[in-house]
Structure 1
């Protein structure tokens, strides 16, 4: 284990247990996973089959990111044996097996400004992701705090088999998203699956996930009484750039105070 991993193991355990708290209903059983960068070329990620609510240091492994990135860029399509070999070769610390979704964590950890990634399956979010109204989650912004915490442009990806196929699809979608909007998303919605929060800190990842749940609840309620009314582009842009809101975004990320 790197020195940085040793210093961050308590942080990822805390994030994982808080996100896995049964009262939050973000994930049950062995659902969901977390990752934190431990160096330019490594990350801690939850091992497969472990419960978020009961996570401990033994629930995580440290992996070599360049090995993952090379597999995503150059590896075969959907080869289960190749993925098993990758997990064995790339694991630098820990006794568990990296989650299959660790490949998608590696894609997210490749982006500038991403230090923490939280993947969960909150019921209100998945209710929409498993419906024919899922695209409303990315159609617009409903209220100011949504923009402050989640940004204006979440990314939606259709259902794809987890592992290398999903990681490659998300990698391509992220490139197109950044070209279109000039910045990375803070939220990736996976149809019929769940949500990834991409953050600069563990605290921000938890805040983003909490806000995706509120957005889903508000959107679901709006649909039940007629339909959502989104903020105008002008109002949304103003909220996204106001100095006081930028300060609040920083504070919610746990970067000051």
Structure 2
């Protein structure tokens, strides 16, 4: 679901600071990758304090394509895709494992949710645009598993914090917020008891983390061992096979 850069909807797809020329920036990155421009796009124009926006989801298919092409640069892209998967999944209504279909934070299909008073009326999304947002939701649902697996596969043991961020998409997709926040807490060197006090693990979190620990064992044994230490006594191994 790659929205052409010339499509008029880009002038209505808003981010944290309203309408910006995200299509123009993506066009530049497609022609020539620039790390500084990319990081500004990621963390200033597509994301703000764990909030995502319609333009974020419009950029995801393009960034996913770029990550495959820019093999020597793709860690920055995968880092962003993994972290924002945690953000997107944080709106799961039942608080648990919902699979990859469902609503994603920042991508409401209700027109009224996009009628922000800080966006000029002539720049607001229209009812016709909801069909495009629905297509973006379908694309994200269909590709989330591949994205999460690719991000986890990029873990290499050289940087614990980066490895943690690369892992949270998988943890969030197959588990939930608690699983993802446990990993971030580990990267921040917090005590496990402190993390678990605020984010108690549910059965789906334990299952996801146990599967993830096995995936990460040959890549970052420190993170893998931490996860196994947390979930090992609580989850029989046979419950994790379907996630690997």
- Tell me the TM-score normalized by structure 2: 0.31
Higher relative contact order (CA 8 A, sep 6+): 1
Higher percent of residues as helix: 2
- Tell me the TM-score normalized by structure 1: 0.30
Higher percent of residues as strand: 1
